[in-house]
Chain A
């Protein structure tokens, strides 16, 4: 059973969705309970992933089934240090988000449960797939339930926000599709057979200017998703209009797919391209940090404030990724999980107050600490984690990212400069979060409606408790998580630098194939259909591979 754990992980939500599909619409109670239990079962199952051996960088629980042999599309899934914690974050956050949203989702409960289950399956699929085609399918599949959640159960301008969210991501991913197809075509040209496997495509060495364009396409798709500075305008609208549950999942998991995409696909496939775009992306990330913080400071809508804070936090993550140092990378992966927890908790808290006062305007609140002490305490704890106070999870991530950026060989001279400006982000984070806390909690009670507000209910308490515990646990004992990531992060960094070096020295064009850069041995064990495969590498290269690879005839 443990061998097919990942397929099982993908299957359970789909089965649950199947059951919910045929459950009668009136049995709302059953649907609510069943969905949450299905998700908890999924979480229990995903804990099984923890006992994979992550000391080596190899993919754990690998599964390979040829779907379309002619075009090398394989259902190839696996988990390594990088994707392990993101999968666990997904299976951890989704039940919480569902459990909380049952109080304010009254209409079309069945469809809501269905979309959430499908969303979870799609997200997990995207995290575990090692085949570019399968990844793209899950990447697109993920959009549909999210758009439904925002579009149907959202706020006043929900359709505008849903359409905007959909179009933004769609534009990016269509470009990525074109890049994928070109990449596979180049692979076919060079080795004679099609393959969408990430492991194989990684062996391909493309000329620098081609890598630049392909990387730009991938980077755009993921930058929109992250969201990075110029492409972030869909996030505040999507968050403001999404229901609490949807907003939590959107913040906690969907944004991480952008950064994960960089780590898993964009950078390993096109190291030279990513190296040349490195300084610009790092610059954009730092601008995102400061710009997001400033925007967040003047927002009057709490959800928009938290949305802009996400832009700022994910700027940190991108800076960490682009330092390509072991602590920068593991810091950014850790920060992805931390952001998921702290921003997820923040959205839950905003949902709590929204359910009571049906408004998110900061000026409406004041002196809540007197009326809702427990709520105030939790909010302050989560704020401290979001600011990055030591002993909370935020600090460890930010510290490692800043250390990584500061002493990174890849960022070179502008590493310390980026670290300097990113560190000011730490101050700005304190400014806008405490601004919100002051407006909401401290001070006298100005509005009569705030008088009789009930404090946290049992349901909300149960949802928030695990998050608060995790905030302190990761803050104090991050060793376990970092240990598991270490191997795959180091391999990522060394592979990236090695391939970068190989790509840069303009190896003598003529003997690319003589040196058999794409060793036949590496391809043989993958069990691809032998047939015309064996003949491909020794076919005499008619003209210089430069023409072959350089540009279309």
Chain B
């Protein structure tokens, strides 16, 4: 039993290869560079095979869930709803990831061997191989990752590697821009994966795939019920219209469209052909683009719970297949055709997965990896032979079958496989997909018509695939050689004459390249058999069974024959038309294109989706950027800095105007100063204040002193001044009961922390309802609606509690006895009563008045509002001032 630590080896070897080549590759010889690169991938392939054998043994031993796992170390940890949740760097190889690892390392190895030949004259040879190794390592991390974050490491790792590899020949600005476009598109997808990851983690409480799938099985209800975020007891965000599974899977699907180039985010794949062909083969055909399908299959138990998302996936897949295929019909460049065919085949896979046929989708991934890689490498060897730099135009090629037999046969085999010729790998997987589509009508209960429509679209797509593949084949390999690419667009090619000198006939590619082609060709043929279990393998469906979720729909037996029939007709029809139009060579395609010029132009311009994106999203956000920076410069900066500095400058300018050196100006200022000082002395000030604490009813007052001030007081508020003019400011007065009767004030101190005392002014006879906020939380009335009411009678305040808890507090502040909730309570002056948390006390209100006169005969009065017994100094500014320059008032001195 091999130690699972080797799983780490699968990932580490390509990583080491990348680092070695990256650091020391530049000055090492070519042999050492590609030896290191190929050896590291070979090593990881070997380990993968050994590990896969382990899985087979486990399966043979009747294990339900076959898996090998190895935890390297604890990456970091979060706390989810109080429980610490560690995120380990853990690699798991189970059935699904086992197959993927084999595909990645196997085909990767072949492509590494191939590119030793293809990239032989490339100056930065080491850099290419280090990137390729890095890519393989990240892809393996993606596939073997046991939890969403670890997978995410691989997910973005492949994104970066594709950015580096697409922009490998960075001298050409367009290639670099294509790289950036790929990375940004992937990044938008990654945003989706992030959000989906968080949603699933917040629901299931863990990031591990196994736990999430287990949660989906056990607590399906939680995922399918309304989307609710936050602690289970009191969720703070509940969206009832949509289920959590749907939202999470939609986000994840956004990630898949970014990575696997589906409708909204597929624009980067055709431009990604700017990279070297092995790159296109490895990344944009076999491995990276299929990671979207891998993610959906990996989390299939969750996806199954969201039929709406599955419908969206299926429709997107089908539509992408159609659109890409239609564009492929008219393209002339080999790599562009293959790129669009990849997008279209991915559309097939997503349609299958969308319809619940996860196994079929995954099988198509497996078979597609073989024949698409073979096609790309074939195209590469064609370009290598013809000397084109990545833009082999089929119109200039033709008749290469004579010069390149190996490439020709492998290319033919792969074409037949992709077209779906019977007994080729493509036939089996496409057949399964069509069956899945038909069977899905039961799954999509809300739209039973969906299954057949997808089947129809896939059928049309299959015919188109067959057509454009064979169109490509016949135009490249059959007929006469049409001279190869003219280098007219290479401006820097000096002189035209030597062009013809090297214009010899194309030659077959070196052994390294053709050997890879042959192996892939064989794979393209026999990859399907493993699936159907023809040879001694038992059918793969059972193998993947435990890992993938199921829609529990058994397709009727006869469906597979119907699907096979349709698949066969599609393939033959497509092959037939291509054969008729291109092998025989007829004008019908030209005539057809002429008759529908606009449609032809539209297809040629790739449905103008790039222009649509540029015009809307790119231009819009760039405009937003410009607006933001202008806003930042003029509004935020302007407002904050320029405005304030200008105000300061203005005010300082004004002040300097006063100092103008003129004596009379200074004189004037002095005069105004004199006036002000004079006014201060001339106008009398009356500020009465209470001195000390009034004991009971006797209160001593003190008025503000001034130059030759005379004072008169009126205590009883009857308007007549009780004392005569007298120079001393002090006065003492004992208020009588009668004077207190005049006004009662209920002082309600609210319970609220920081709530200020509130003075409810009640003259005898009127009623007032207490407000709820002041009574504090401990007040509960019987029916929560009626509030306690207080009313003033002659001697004090009557409280109608209406169910509130009322306690009378005795004079010394000790707790009084509680009153019955319904009984009325009478509160006299100086007594307290607590209602709920509030405190109600009653004080008498007196309003003494002061009259002040100064030497100039001007006088002023001031009203003082006083509450006894607790003295509340509330000097009301009811200033009655008569600045009477003529001093008339002073003379009579009579009370107003």
Contact = CB atoms under 8 A, between A and B. Distances in A.
Interface string B80-108: 11000000000000000000000000000
B177 A231 contact: no
A430 B187 contact: yes
Interface string B200-213: 01100000000000
Interface in B723-753: 749, 751-753
A403 B184 contact: no
Interface string A411-445: 01101100110011011001100110010011110
Given A299-B629, A402-B198, A434 B183 contact: yes
A482 interface: yes
Contact of B191 (A326, A426, A434): A426
Contacts of A416: 198, 229, 237
B58 to A, nearest CB: 31
A419 B629 contact: no
Contact of A413 (B173, B195, B237): B237
A194 to B, nearest CB: 23
Nearest to B188: A427
A551 B754 CA distance: 8
A336 to B, nearest CB: 16
A549 B754 contact: yes
A438 B191 CA distance: 22
B363 to A, nearest CB: 30
A403 B173 contact: no
Contacts of A424: 191
Contacts of A434: 163, 180, 183-184
Given A423-B195, A438-B177, A443 B751 contact: no
Nearest to B127: A373
At the interface, is chain B mostly helix, strand, loop or mixed? helix
Contacts of A207: 753-754
A230 B621 contact: no
Contacts of B777: 505-506
B325 to A, nearest CB: 30
Tell me which of A164, A297, A478 has the highest count of chain B C-beta atoms within 10 A of its own C-beta: A297
B636 A233 contact: yes
B621 A294 contact: yes
Contact of A389 (B76, B156, B626): B156
Given A367-B171, A443-B173, A444-B173, A482 B76 contact: yes
Interface string B152-164: 1101110010010
Contacts of B120: none
Contacts of B156: 389-390, 395
B632 A233 contact: yes
Contact of A391 (B157, B236, B632): B157
B74 interface: yes
B794 interface: no
A106 to B, nearest CB: 31
B640 A412 contact: no
A139 to B, nearest CB: 21
Given A164-B641, A297-B625, A443-B170, A406 B79 contact: no
Nearest to A205: B753
A398 to B, nearest CB: 9
A407 B157 CA distance: 27
B624 to A, nearest CB: 6
Interface string A362-389: 0000010110000000000000100001
A442 B753 contact: no
Contacts of B751: 506, 508-509
Nearest to B637: A233
Interface in A466-509: 476-479, 482, 505-509
B490 interface: no
A291 interface: yes
Contact of A479 (B73, B173, B179): B73
A295 interface: yes
A230 B635 CA distance: 10
Contacts of B486: none
Contacts of B190: 426
Contact of B80 (A395, A407, A427, A479): A407
B625 A298 contact: yes
A326 B229 CA distance: 18
A426 B187 contact: yes
Contact of A327 (B79, B194, B229, B640): B79
A279 to B, nearest CB: 12
B157 A390 contact: yes
Interface residues of A, number: 70
A512 B754 CA distance: 12
A233 B640 contact: yes
B96 to A, nearest CB: 22
B195 A441 contact: no
Given A297-B622, A389-B160, A409 B231 contact: yes
A418 to B, nearest CB: 12
B230 interface: yes
A512 B625 CA distance: 53
B202 A407 contact: yes
Contacts of B198: 402-403, 406-407, 416, 419
Interface string A83-96: 00000000000000
Nearest to A544: B749
Nearest to A424: B191
A295 B237 contact: no
Contacts of B80: 407
A509 B236 contact: no
Contacts of A442: 167, 170-171, 173, 175-176, 179
Contacts of B187: 426-427, 430-431
B625 A399 contact: no
Given A409-B231, A443-B170, A294 B78 contact: no
A403 B201 contact: yes
Interface string B228-240: 0111000011000
A253 interface: no
Contacts of B163: 434
A440 to B, nearest CB: 11
B640 A230 contact: yes
B754 A550 contact: yes
Interface in B36-75: 73-75
Contact of A438 (B76, B153, B176): B176
Contacts of B171: 367, 370, 442-444
A327 B78 contact: yes
B490 to A, nearest CB: 14
Nearest to A506: B753
B545 interface: no
A238 to B, nearest CB: 12
B756 interface: yes
B391 interface: no
B77 interface: yes
25 contacts: A208-B753, A291-B628, A326-B78, A327-B79, A370-B170, A403-B201, A409-B231, A413-B237, A415-B229, A416-B198, A419-B198, A423-B195, A426-B194, A438-B176, A438-B180, A442-B167, A479-B75, A506-B751, A506-B752, A506-B753, A508-B751, A509-B751, A509-B752, A546-B749, A546-B754
Given A210-B754, A403-B198, A509-B752, 9 more contacts: A230-B636, A295-B629, A326-B78, A396-B75, A412-B236, A423-B195, A430-B184, A434-B180, A509-B755
Question: Which 5 residue pairs of A and B lie closest in terms of their CB atoms, listed nearest first?
Answer: A442-B176, A207-B754, A443-B173, A390-B153, A442-B170
Interface of B: 73-81, 149, 152-153, 155-157, 160, 163, 167, 170-173, 175-177, 179-180, 183-184, 187-188, 190-191, 194-195, 198, 201-202, 229-231, 236-237, 621-622, 624-626, 628-629, 632, 636-637, 640-641, 749, 751-756, 776-777, 837
Interface of A: 164, 207-210, 230-233, 291, 294-295, 297-299, 325-327, 367, 369-370, 384, 389-391, 395-396, 399-400, 402-404, 406-407, 409, 412-413, 415-416, 419-420, 423-424, 426-427, 430-431, 434-435, 438, 441-444, 476-479, 482, 505-509, 512, 544, 546, 549-551
